[in-house]
Homo-oligomer: A and B are copies of this chain.
Amino acid sequence: MKKVSLLAPGPTPVPPRTLLAMAQPLIHHRSSDFLEIFGKVRDGLKKIFKTDNDVLVFCSSGTGAMESSVANLLSPGDKAIAIRGGKFGERWTEILEAYGCVPVNLDVEWGYAVKPADVAKLLADDPEIKAVYVQALETSTGVSHPIKELAEVTKGTDVVLVVDAVSALAAYDIPSDEWDLDVVISGSQKALMLPPGLAFASIGPKAKKMMESSTCPKFYFSWAKELKTQSINKGAFTSPVPLFLGLLDIFALIEEMGGLDTIYKETEIKSKAFKAAVAAWGLELFSKENASTGLTAVMAPEGIDAQDVVGWLKNKYAIFIAGGQAQAKGKIFRVAHMGFISEFDTLQAISAIEMALAGLGYDFEMGSGVAAAQKVFEEA
């Protein structure tokens, strides 16, 4: 018997009750019932983002909202810092170049976090730089960049800070307003426990002002258009109705689970337990600093291809974790703690990885990771 388990850092498992909430008969996207739902979604998102700013909803993957933060803020020729400490950081450069903007690439070795002082220096050296693009949690390396500290650099300046929190939002605390984050981007398929298909962007006052002078082309992802229609609870285009129903159910579920703080805490405990297992196996994290709680990236043992660990779990046990991307491919495997993943799902992942490592010839004490994780869960 193979029961499929999803433990990759997105898409994450969707609670069965939420799947059923989304299976309700379709309602019209311009009906008063749906407008009411849209309003609740807007309010609920503001609570999750911890902001009074408008949070726009798009029907797209998270990348669509990332692109919107270039197309709506900048004009061709504008300079912006792309913090590149992984695959998603590199995407900023690609999007900036696609729009004829000039990326100022701040390359950070994969596995490390950006130094806010380096960003401050770049900004001081070049007053033409208009924006800083960064990931809160760089999913490809498991590293959390120091968002609070970066915001201290851009606060009080005209520079807009854009934070991709696709993997971070609702996994750990990223309080938009408290930290003065100008734009925060997220998606439905990570800690929000929904299928892919919704992307979000919160737009602060500095970003709204910069938006007014942007000349990059935009239509489907136009913030101005969506700010206008979403303020009266309508998407500019046809909204994906079931995902809105799902999001309402997730808001309720988050409350029932004890609220965001409880979820942050539980995610942290799962992360700590998993990382304790990694240490017990004698393995190292890929994230050399600021290892996130949302997921863990593990270096495969010397002589073992990390893709073989991933393949072993998938082919023998129908358990899905993720491998490394680009330069990290073959070197690391990644396991999610964010979203609808329990402590026993985490222990299952640890068990399965132990069985894979043993099968692939790694010499370690079987069960040592499970025991180390159990200890963390017991103490919590």
> What residues make up the interface of A, taking CB atoms closer than 8 Å to B?
4, 6, 8, 10-14, 16, 19-20, 22-29, 31, 59-64, 67, 71, 94-95, 98-100, 187, 189, 195-197, 216-222, 235, 237-243, 314, 320
Residues of B within 8 A of A99 (CB): 217, 219
Q: Is the CB of A14 within 8 A of B22?
A: no
Given the interface pairs A196-B239, A238-B196, A241-B196, the reply to whether A218 lies near B26 with Cβ below 8 Å is no
Please pick, from B4, B13, B19, B63, the residue contacting A220 in the complex, using a CB distance under 8 A. Answer: B63
* Nearest CB of chain B from residue A96's CB, rounded to whole Å: 10
Whole-angstrom CA separation of A197 from B25 in the bound complex: 15
Residues of B within 8 A of A241 (CB): 11, 195-196
Q: List 10 A-B residue pairs with CB atoms under 8 Å apart, sorted by A's residue number.
A: A10-B238, A14-B25, A19-B25, A22-B22, A63-B238, A64-B237, A98-B217, A98-B218, A98-B219, A100-B217
Please pick, from B8, B25, B59, B63, the residue contacting A237 in the complex, using a CB distance under 8 A. Answer: B63
Q: Is the CB of B4 within 8 A of A25?
A: yes
Residues of B within 8 A of A239 (CB): 61, 196
Interface-centre pick from A4, A20, A94 (highest chain B CB count, 10 A): A4
Q: Is the CB of A28 within 8 A of B320?
A: yes
Please pick, from B27, B64, B195, B242, the residue contacting A6 in the complex, using a CB distance under 8 A. Answer: B27
Whole-angstrom CA separation of A181 from B43 in the bound complex: 44
Q: Is the CB of B314 within 8 A of A31?
A: yes
Given the interface pairs A59-B59, A63-B219, A218-B98, the reply to whether A240 lies near B196 with Cβ below 8 Å is yes
Q: Is the CB of A11 within 8 A of B24?
A: no
* Nearest CB of chain B from residue A7's CB, rounded to whole Å: 10
Q: Is the CB of A217 within 8 A of B314?
A: no
Residue of B nearest to A194 (CB): B26
* Nearest CB of chain B from residue A3's CB, rounded to whole Å: 9
* Nearest CB of chain B from residue A88's CB, rounded to whole Å: 11
Known: A94-B219, A99-B217. 11 other contacts (CB 8 A): A11-B26, A11-B241, A12-B26, A14-B26, A59-B60, A60-B220, A99-B219, A196-B239, A197-B240, A197-B243, A217-B217
